[in-house]
Structure 1
Amino acid sequence: MLARHMQKLLLLFSALLIGVGLLACGGGGGSPGTPGPATPPPATTGSLAVTASGLPAGVNPALRVTGPNNYLQDLTQSQTLANLAPGSYNVSASPVTSGGVTYQPTPASQAATVSAGATASAAVSYASGTLSLGLTQVAANLDNPTFLTAPAGDRRLFVTERPGRVRIVENGSTRDLPYLDIRARVSTDGEGGLLSLAFDPQFARNGYFYVYYTDLQRNIVVERFSAGATPTAANPTSGLVILRIPHPTYQNHFGGQLAFSPDGYLYLATGDGGGAGDPQGNARNLNSLLGKLLRIDVAGATTTQPYTIPAGNPYRDVAGRRPEIWAAGLRNPWRFSFDGSQLYLSDVGQDRREEVNIVAAAQAGLDYGWNLMEGTLCYNAATCDRTGLTLPAFEYDHGTGNANGCSITGGFVYRGRALPELAGRYFYSDFCGGYLKSFFATGNGITEQRDWEIGDIGRVVSFGQDADGELYLLTSGGAIQQIGRRAAQ
């Protein structure tokens, strides 16, 4: 009996426990129920919506976004940038040129703060405006400056002075002591002197640079020097003559430019030997180095073999032809430059025309036509055979009383960052004209010819280009002026 009674009590107690459990679970047949929504993790990144307005259809803005962790993104349309680390971002906008009209952005630069889980915004408005250029003097009282350049990555300006010195201009100040002084071996008779300088593409590694000058016998000389123990002075005893070209009889038309092309070879442009009309017939004579564009390899220069002839030179293996010749038919090429795969070569005319030749840099064996042609005119003849000649892409007539100029000073295609709307425009001047002009060369011809109306600059001897691609003017009065944006009046 007692055992049976205890068994009943245990069953009753178990039933009570089950009931309590059901009440605790809210009842309902044993289902655990539907769980509530999970809490999302907090956001760790944000977004930036960049919008641009005011440009005509088909014209893209030029925007750059920079921010934390070296973030950089260039945009050509309105766009929302996602997954950005929180922090401060800068949105810069560059002017845009289309159809000869320049559109200026407002603001040109702005900051935007990106927060986690939020979208910040930055708006740029473009409006059309006229770009004006001005000049800022960076040096004065130089002794007949003839050329300006700089090695890659160097903020300094290296300037050749005609009597035979290379000067350093840094932060608007010209160092008293020259970088190189070879006045004792330079002649300034006629149009001679120290005329240009080119840094080796491997200058940072090998310290080599090359100068083009006329010596005391009026020969054209290309000589290599080496950097010195300090960055402010070259080694004056390191000279190695690369090439010496006889230039007898006349004291003009020495040419004067040398430059390395993208192919790594050294190019130099020589005058025809002087005298009116090329009386010695040098320019188209392929056995003469005068009146030519030359191409040589100086990478392994030694005293016994200062240069070699690159493969691809058109007369490398042709008997009776100088293998150094790359192109012929030049009168007095006063400045040439490379722009990527293109060569821009200006040639001073005789009495009527000034010209700029624009060709693929890889084109060998061209004949620019002097003294058969002056520009696109037959020289001293009513008709002439133009067969096989390369005629200029651009030319201008002197005009009555040399109203348009008398001696072109060739320049560079602009590739700097300060004036992005001018990318691809070729700048030139004239020794008699005292102006600054430019044009844009396309596959269909010359467009956007413009006189920048700077005023009378003076006798422009040369253009220069620094390591950032910004352009300078050098005048016979000894001044160097940088080309830049003119401040709003």
Structure 2
Amino acid sequence: MLLGRAQMILRVAVAMLTAMVIALSLSACGGGGGNPGSPGPVTPPPAATGSLAITTGGLPAGVDASVRVTGPNNFQQDLTGSQTLSSIAVGSYSVTAAPVTAGGVSYTPAPATQSAIVSAGATATATVAYGGAALSIALSEVASNLVNPTWLTAPPGDPRLFVLERPGRIRIVQNNSVLAIPFLDLSGRVFTGGEGGLLSMAFDPAFARNGYFYIYYTDPQQDIVVERFSASPNPNLADPTSNLVILRIPHPNFVNHFGGQVAFGPDGFLYASTGDGGGAGDPQGNGQNLGSLLGKLLRVDVSAARAGQPYTIPASNPYLNGPGRRAEIWATGLRNPWRFSFDNGQLYLSDVGQDRREEVNISAAGNTGAAGLNYGWNTMEGTLCYNAASCDRTGLTLPAFEYDHGSNDANGCAITGGFVYRGSALPELAGRYFYSDYCRGFLKSFLATGGNITEQRDWNIASIGNVISFGQDGAGELYLTTARGSVYKIGRSAAP
């Protein structure tokens, strides 16, 4: 009886276990009968990336294309030739090509902009074909009958041109006409003997908000003066009573080598370039004298300028703490740095030579690694020894570019430094530095890349006389001012 009862319990347990196994099998099969068999192949997840093949053509050997690819997830990559971008996210990509110039020929891409759709596991393609044509530059006169126009500038985005006349007036050119009333007239306060006069102007980076601008001129005592003014409620008139002197630098004995420029750097500080005080060969030794502000590139902070404290010294100035050294100095060893400019984190500083060489110095801008550079004058004139008795180049920074005057100044006598082109009218010339020479009035350019000077080009413009200065408008286009009283805009020639 007990055995029979135990056998019955065992049979019930086996039956329940069998039912559970069957239920689990049906659950695993998702219901239904039959033998589920072995699991089938697992379907892989769809590919999340693809490829984009860019093909460029039409350029001479050794000439790089200029292609930028942008796409999903803030993707951006610059290409210099044909290349396949692999394992990139699926989606829409933009391929933008820029013109390039080599050997005096401008190569234009077609298409300039195109889209490519990258699909999962597939390769999309885009082709950029360059076509070449000789690029020619022409000058168009935008103003005339000015009195020794020394400088041209404008606030960013402003269609007006502010042109300085050496006797002390700032004129506005608007809609190709010179306004009758000057923006500012300081003619009673400006010394114009020798190389003196009203020499340059810089708008404050916050001009749209504060109305400040700065001028560089020589006063009746022959001092170099950097002074701040404000615009009046009338945008075409400055307030002549708003002046605040920032710097006043004595310049006795000679009436040449006043330097001449004031400009804001990318670091927001105000830079000023001063000449060595004049006379042949720097007889006062100012270029190498750290106790003198002459023959220097200066850097000061005017962001909180006020009466009694017109500037402070940036903490990264190289001679901030040192007996007998002027803390305003950023660079030394300059003869007559008439013009300098900033571009893409670099400083282009031209220095007028004595008898043989004209030079352009290129260095990092607003970087402590470039602080305290000594450009060599009067030990060196360019890369030549000037003072042969003590021609020690130790610690000197030699120019990135120079040219010799040649016999009877056949190549020039005084460099007129300019700007790196960043306008939109001639995009194929982006990055090229333009310069001229007072004696020869040419228009030339070069490209500085990786420490090398390439693409040197004479643009063979018709003679326009003595070139005093370059200028840059609110859109980044370039201009020339001449001793004849004319202002010319640099543009594309209709015929090669």
Give the C-alpha shift of residue 244 in structure 1: 0.4
Q: Which residue of 2 aligns with 1:190?
A: 194
> Does residue 168 of structure 2 align to residue 161 of structure 1?
no
CA distance in 1, matches of 2:452, 2:96: 33
CA distance in 1, matches of 2:275, 2:223: 12
5 Å-filtered alignment, 1:138-157, equals 138-157=142-161
Q: Which residue of 2 aligns with 1:371?
A: 378
CA distance in 1, matches of 2:481, 2:245: 27
Question: For the Cα contact (< 8 Å) 1:62–1:96, is it kept in 2?
Answer: no
Question: For the Cα contact (< 8 Å) 1:372–1:379, is it kept in 2?
Answer: yes
> Does residue 420 of structure 2 align to residue 413 of structure 1?
yes
Structure 1 residues 366 and 322, CA gap change in structure 2 (3 angstroms): same
Question: For the Cα contact (< 8 Å) 1:63–1:75, is it kept in 2?
Answer: yes
CA distance in 1, matches of 2:376, 2:407: 25
Structure 1 residues 319 and 274, CA gap change in structure 2 (3 angstroms): same
Give the C-alpha shift of residue 442 in structure 1: 1.5
Question: For the Cα contact (< 8 Å) 2:104–2:134, is it kept in 1?
Answer: no
Give the C-alpha shift of residue 51 in structure 1: 10
What are the superposed Cα offsets for residues 8-45 of structure 1, whole Å, 9 maximum, x if unpaired?
xxxxxxxxxxxxxxxxxxxxxxxxxxxxxxxxxxxxxx
Amino acid at match of 1:406: C
Give the C-alpha shift of residue 101 in structure 1: 4.0
Give the C-alpha shift of residue 126 in structure 1: 3.7
Question: For the Cα contact (< 8 Å) 2:100–2:429, is it kept in 1?
Answer: no
What TM-score does the superposition give when structure 1 sets the normalisation length?
Answer: 0.79
Question: Which of the numbers 475, 478, 481 marks the counterpart of 2:482?
Answer: 475
Question: Which of the numbers 437, 448, 453 marks the counterpart of 1:441?
Answer: 448
> Does residue 429 of structure 2 align to residue 425 of structure 1?
no
5 Å-filtered alignment, 1:10-49, equals none
CA distance in 2, matches of 1:99, 1:392: 24
> Does residue 242 of structure 2 align to residue 242 of structure 1?
no
What are the superposed Cα offsets for residues 432-457 of structure 1, whole Å, 9 maximum, x if unpaired?
01100011111141111111111222
Bigger shift: 98-107 or 144-153?
A: 98-107
Q: How many residues align?
A: 417
Question: Which of the numbers 407, 410, 431 marks the counterpart of 1:400?
Answer: 407
What are the superposed Cα offsets for residues 145-176 of structure 1, whole Å, 9 maximum, x if unpaired?
00011111211111111000001111211111
Amino acid at match of 2:377: W
> Does residue 354 of structure 2 align to residue 353 of structure 1?
no
Q: Which residue of 1 aligns with 2:27?
A: none
Question: Which of the numbers 390, 405, 408 marks the counterpart of 2:397?
Answer: 390
Q: Which residue of 2 aligns with 1:325?
A: 329
CA distance in 1, matches of 2:279, 2:386: 15
Structure 1 residues 212 and 357, CA gap change in structure 2 (3 angstroms): same
Give the C-alpha shift of residue 334 in structure 1: 1.1
Amino acid at match of 2:477: E
Q: Which residue of 2 aligns with 1:310?
A: 314
Provide structure 2 residue ranges, at least 5 long, that are not aligned to the other structure. 1-53, 71-75, 85-89, 115-125
Amino acid at match of 1:304: G
5 Å-filtered alignment, 1:455-470, equals 455-470=462-477
Question: For the Cα contact (< 8 Å) 1:150–1:467, is it kept in 2?
Answer: yes
Structure 1 vs Structure 2 CA RMSD: 2.9
Q: Which residue of 2 aligns with 1:267?
A: 271
Question: For the Cα contact (< 8 Å) 1:156–1:168, is it kept in 2?
Answer: yes
What are the superposed Cα offsets for residues 245-295 of structure 1, whole Å, 9 maximum, x if unpaired?
000000000000010000000000000000000011111100000000000
Question: For the Cα contact (< 8 Å) 1:62–1:95, is it kept in 2?
Answer: no
CA distance in 2, matches of 1:488, 1:146: 30
Give the C-alpha shift of residue 129 in structure 1: 1.2
Identity among equivalent positions (%) equals 69
Q: Which residue of 2 aligns with 1:170?
A: 174
